[in-house]
Structure 1
Amino acid sequence: MPLSDVQIRNLRPKDKQYKVSDFEGLYVLVKPSGSRLWQMKYRYFGKERLLSLGAYPAVSLAQARKFKDEARALLAKGIDPSEAKQEAKRAKREALGHTFLKIGEEFFEKQKKEGKSKATLDKTAYHLKLANAEFGRKPITEITAPMILRALRKQEAKGNHETAHRLRARIGSVFRYAVASGLAETDPTYALKDALVRPTRQHRSAITDPVALGNLMREIEGFEGQATTRIALRLLALTAQRPGEIRHASWVEFDFREKIWIIPANKMKMRRDHNVPLPDQALNLLNDLRMITGNGEFLFPSLRSWHRPMSENTLNAALRRMGYSGEEMTAHGFRASFSTLANESGLWNPDAIEAALAHVDRNEVRRAYNRGLYWDERVKLANWWAGYLDELKTG
């Protein structure tokens, strides 16, 4: 028989909690403390579930029956009312803007304002996407270390140990931003520092033997693929810059009169402008390239669209076509070739070589001093390196 308000008001606590039924699964749970809680029992895909509807008298008999009817309507549509209730709570919390997803978006915008390089922003976006798939909609204060570890373990299970470590670091950056903003108390990733498998550090393969490097330069000279790819590889060897900086190079960055390539900070890994002296060999290549791509923005546009740069796989794929495996040589390896052979020559100040590679000195005073001090030497170094490569190429 259905309950009445009078009956519910007269329910008294006992030593143990007990239930008093209304109908269609709705009942009052009377606690020894005297509190009276509305609950609804139902079955979802054959399993018994429980839905809490609030405490009496804050939730009246009429309201409890209304909530019960709404839950049964969801069941008729194949929707679990408990899950729907949790989803509604999550949506409400998300609207407050304190979810990991929202704070992550704020952190990403902060990085953009700080002028982080495109490569850094792309990595941040990728890591945030992985994290958001796991707990992006949860309030940041409800995200625990075990919850984060489960997400990291998924990467480890795929063998992506380096990704797992970088993902932990990126999640930690978002938490520290939240702590600084007063939205969280602690960074739970700190407790996970030693919980992950340490990745094996693999240096990018590079040819540092002069004879072998000469062979490679001849192979590049005779490369039968795209002319732009051949020129890109030769410029990569001549300038010793990062492959991404070569691929994203724009014509506006080159001062042909002063023989300088001015790479803007937003394209550099260390977010500082970097000037690269251009030897005559590089200028000749650029003049040849202008006949092919000089009307566009990029020196090396994509084959699919001139509004996008060359694919990041193009240069390594060209090396593979020439018969060089990933264990022998990579596009990034030209930097190690330059560094090793320039240092072994004994002709140049190691700091000038480091400056040519855009390796930034942590000491700001020393960095500012070195920037001006080694420019003249770097110009001579660039010309020597270009001539040295020519000598190796001709055997």
Structure 2
Amino acid sequence: MALTDISIRQAKPQEKTYHLPDGSSLFLEVTPSGGKLWRYRFRFNGKAAVLALGKYPDVGLAEARNKAGEARKQLSEGINPAAQRKSDKLAAKLSAANTFRAIAEEWHAKERHEWSEQHAERVMTSLELHIFPFIGSSPIKDIKPLELLEVLRRVEKAGNLDTCKRLRQRCSSIFRLAILTGRCDSDPAAPLVDALKTPQVEHRKALNRDELPEFLHALKEMDSNRQTKLMMELMLHTFTRVGEMSMARWEEIDFGSKLWTIPPEHRKLTEISKKSAAPHLVPLSDHALAILRELQAISGGREHIFPNRNSPNRPMSPETLRRALHRMGFKGKADVHGFRSTASTILNEEGFNPDAIERQLAHVERNRVRAAYNRAEYMEERRRMMQWWSSYIAQQQGGNVEPANFQRAG
């Protein structure tokens, strides 16, 4: 006889466990302690087995019959319902462990050895602010392109197009790691390239030839301490990167050889590249050496050539030069990094060897043989070039120095 809710509620515990059949191999097991447990008896590959379907009243009669029906359907399809139950539980457990956030943290730990500490922190902060609150707890295999697009659109609508672009790229890297490790099948970030607005590329503002005299006059008249002015001048004469300049130490300067040796750890390289990269050598013109000798009177007793005014054991912040440009009236007209572009443009126009210019800019040569050749062959050529460049700057300042014609003098 089939069970009813009334007969189930009226079933009393006995000294031993007993069964109340409902039909079609479904039955209710009543324990001596009063527990009422749904069970489904079946055979698979000739072996008898019992499948637990839940506890009454948490699982009611109708639900127990539905679960038994599902088990019968699986058996008809050649599936062991007990084994399938274990597989489903394992899949659920893996999904809980393989959330987007879990894979993102794994990706971050894998990649961070190639980044600076500051960059690694920025990457994780961007994910914590813009991504994790929305899809961080979702199983990574369940995230669809439209769902990710909605998350990125929040950043896009706020006007942060560059951040949005970088976030999409980072999400794509995270999904690719999950694909390679068998935890998802596709990268929903990949097709979103065309769905998001492209940030407008803003090139670093660089001075042209005609603007140099005005800039140098403004630098001379700028109301600032002498150290900041000298730092700006040395940037112009050496066209190194501002981070390399701010971190420069006196031990890197060889006055006798007229050479500044920038160690790999100060160069713009990935963290892993810094371990094997060569230092960057900067030939120092007479003008650059004169600036450094004046700086010796200011900071010669310190570790850094440009010590921080408030914390002398630390280097000056690169922001100092950017703020100085604003005070000079060049906000939006020139960028410190743009000095490199100015020098490169003028030196190329004057006929200097493009390879020597690129080497002086410390642009990474991907061909190792060519890179070794660059280091070995261009030093004397670069010395002459840097002396010409400093003389050219002095001429723009109204000095009496006439830069040599390199094409005739070479």
- Is the pair's TM-score, using the shorter chain for normalization, greater than 0.5? yes
Contact residue 117 and residue 269 of structure 1 kept, 8 A: no
Deviation at 1:263, TM superposition (A): 2.6
Match of 1:30 in 2: 62
Task: Please list the CA deviations of residues 288-342 of structure 1 after superposition, one character each: whole Å capped at 9, or x if unmatched.
Answer: 334434444443344443454433432222111111121x111111111111111
Contact residue 118 and residue 267 of structure 1 kept, 8 A: no
Q: Where do residues 288-327 of structure 1 align in structure 2 (5 Å cutoff)?
A: 288-326=294-332
Distance in structure 2 (CA, Å) of the matches to 1:259 and 1:5: 101
Match of 1:241 in 2: 240
Task: Please list the CA deviations of residues 39-73 of structure 1 after superposition, one character each: whole Å capped at 9, or x if unmatched.
Answer: xxxxxxxxxxxxxxxxxxxxxxxxxxxxxxxxxxx
Query: 2:227 aligned with 1:223, yes or no?
Result: no
Structure 1, 217-226 or 328-337: larger mean CA deviation: 217-226
Task: Please list the CA deviations of residues 95-122 of structure 1 after superposition, one character each: whole Å capped at 9, or x if unmatched.
Answer: x5x44444444444444434x4567546
Query: 2:357 aligned with 1:381, yes or no?
Result: no
Match of 1:54 in 2: none
**Residues matched between the structures, number:** 331
Distance in structure 1 (CA, Å) of the matches to 2:313 and 2:134: 34
Distance in structure 2 (CA, Å) of the matches to 1:336 and 1:29: 79
Deviation at 1:176, TM superposition (A): 2.9
Deviation at 1:29, TM superposition (A): 7.3
Match of 1:331 in 2: 336
Q: Which amino acid aligns with 2:316?
A: M
Match of 1:85 in 2: none
Distance in structure 2 (CA, Å) of the matches to 1:163 and 1:4: 61
Aligned to 2:397, what secondary structure does the other structure show?
helix
Query: 2:374 aligned with 1:342, yes or no?
Result: no
Match of 1:80 in 2: none
Deviation at 1:192, TM superposition (A): 1.5
Task: Please list the CA deviations of residues 144-175 of structure 1 after superposition, one character each: whole Å capped at 9, or x if unmatched.
Answer: 33333223212211212122112211222233
* Unmatched segments (≥5 aa) in structure 2: 13-18, 25-55, 69-91, 271-276, 400-410
Q: Where do residues 207-222 of structure 1 align in structure 2 (5 Å cutoff)?
A: 207-210=207-210, 212-222=211-221
Between the aligned residues of both structures, percent identity stands at: 36
Question: Cα gap change, 1:367/1:119 in structure 2, threshold over 3 Å: closer, same or farther?
Answer: farther
Question: Cα gap change, 1:259/1:200 in structure 2, threshold over 3 Å: closer, same or farther?
Answer: same
Distance in structure 2 (CA, Å) of the matches to 1:306 and 1:106: 39
Distance in structure 1 (CA, Å) of the matches to 2:193 and 2:287: 48
Of the two, which has the highest radius of gyration? 2
Contact residue 264 and residue 274 of structure 1 kept, 8 A: yes
Contact residue 335 and residue 357 of structure 1 kept, 8 A: yes
Distance in structure 2 (CA, Å) of the matches to 1:248 and 1:360: 20
Contact residue 119 and residue 269 of structure 1 kept, 8 A: no
TM-score, length basis structure 2: 0.68
Distance in structure 2 (CA, Å) of the matches to 1:189 and 1:179: 13
Question: Cα gap change, 1:109/1:375 in structure 2, threshold over 3 Å: closer, same or farther?
Answer: farther
Question: Cα gap change, 1:126/1:296 in structure 2, threshold over 3 Å: closer, same or farther?
Answer: farther
Q: Which of the numbers 337, 361, 364 marks the counterpart of 1:360?
A: 364
When the two chains are superposed, the root-mean-square deviation of aligned CA atoms in Å is: 3.8
Q: Which amino acid aligns with 2:377?
A: L
Distance in structure 1 (CA, Å) of the matches to 2:371 and 2:127: 33
Q: Which of the numbers 382, 390, 394 marks the counterpart of 1:390?
A: 394
Structure 1, 183-192 or 335-344: larger mean CA deviation: 183-192
Match of 1:267 in 2: 266
Deviation at 1:125, TM superposition (A): 4.1
Match of 2:191 in 1: 191
Contact residue 206 and residue 336 of structure 1 kept, 8 A: yes
